[in-house]
Amino acid sequence: GNSVTQMEGPVTLSEEAFLTINCTYTATGYPSLFWYVQYPGEGLQLLLKATKADDKGSNKGFEATYRKETTSFHLEKGSVQVSDSAVYFCALLSGGSYIPTFGRGTSLIVHP
Amino acid sequence: NAGVTQTPKFQVLKTGQSMTLQCAQDMNHNSMYWYRQDPGMGLRLIYYSASEGTTDKGEVPNGYNVSRLNKREFSLRLESAAPSQTSVYFCASSEADRGAYGYTFGSGTRLTVV
């Protein structure tokens, strides 16, 4: 079956540090890949997505590249801000399914 | 543009009480979903509705029922609440293409069963 594995958190960084949150997946076929962000007290929001190998999704300074050879979709940002503190979820949607598979989430804490 | 609206935002129930969580979306999405979120467990799918008139069980359906009232509304009912159902509940919706453009989530209902 499908699965998504994310690095355990919390990830704690100082403002302006470089961020990487690892995500690897197992899926049948050629899934679409997503990153969602959940700010405190809110629902999940779609952050970025990629639908085929080598695609790069980007939004708000975050980037992730769909690497089929390593089955990975790592989230990166060059310079984090305090306002980026949130929980980040990696997810996949396998062809023909309505139901995405979510990772367990990685908490990011950014200190001034 | 409201997106996905959930009510109530907070609720405390006694064991054995019943309640219905409401969800409505104004994006003309075909598919709607109910998830629960628990610490260390991530998101778990309770029920979903691929289109108006259909509902299907997800990963953790026991103790819940759903109704797809129309294209906009998808409610979740707890017939006899148990402490194990203490959680944050999220409703979500997606377009007809099976969510390839991603989901839109509501802001959640925080439920405590005592």
What tens digit of pLDDT does each residue of A82-106 get? 999 999 999 998 866 778 889 999 9
What mean pLDDT do residues B81-97 have?
90
**Residue B17: partners with Cβ closer than 8 Å, 6 or more residues away:** B80, B81
B94 contact A CB<8A: yes
Mark yes or no for CB contact A98/B45 under 8 Å: no
CA-CA distance, B53 to B70, in Å (whole number)?
Answer: 8
**Which of A3, A7, A93 best probes binding to B when mutated, by most B CB atoms within 10 angstroms?**
A93
Contacts for A83 with CB less than 8 Å, ≥ 6 apart:
A110
Greater pLDDT, B1 or B11: B11
Whether residue B92 is predicted with pLDDT greater than 60 in this model: the reply is: yes
From the list A34, A43, A98, the residue facing B102 with the nearest CB is A34
| Residue A61 Cα distances to A44, A72, B13, B101, angstroms | 18, 19, 42, 20
Q: Which of B92, B8, B88, B40 is nearest to A36 (CA)?
A: B92
What pLDDT score does B2 carry? 73
Bridge partners of A103? none
Instruction: Write b or e for each residue in B87-103: b if 16 or more Cβ atoms lie within 10 A of its Cβ, otherwise e.
Output: bbbbbbbbbeebbebbb
Question: Are the Cβ atoms of B42 and A42 closer than 8 angstroms?
Answer: no
**Cβ of B2 under 8 Å from any chain A Cβ?**
no
A60: number of Cβ within 10 Å: 12
pLDDT score for B1 = 61
- Tell me the per-residue pLDDT of B3-48, one tens digit each, with 9 for 90 and over: 999 999 999 999 999 999 999 999 999 899 999 999 878 889 999 9
For residue A97, the chain B residues in CB contact (below 8 A) are 98
How many angstroms away from the CA of A44 is the closest CA of chain B? 6
Is residue B107 within 8 angstroms of chain A, CB to CB? yes
pLDDT band at A72 (very low <50, low <70, confident <90, very high): very high
- Tell me which of A15-24, A35-44, A61-70, B17-26 is least confident: A35-44
For the residues B63-81, what does the mean pLDDT come to?
96
Q: What is the mean pLDDT of residues B96-101?
A: 61
A64 CB neighbours in chain B (<8 A) are none
Query: Which comes out higher in pLDDT, residue B11 or B101?
Result: B11
Portion of chain B with pLDDT greater than 90, in percent: 79
Residues 6+ apart with CB under 8 A from A4: A23, A24, A25, A90, A91, A92, A101, A102, A103
Among A23, A101, A52, which Cα is nearest to B99's? A101
Using a pLDDT cut of 70, give the percent of chain B over it.
Answer: 94
Q: Chain B: give the shortest CA distance to residue A8, in Å.
A: 10
> Measured between CA atoms, how close is B13 to chain A, in angstroms?
20
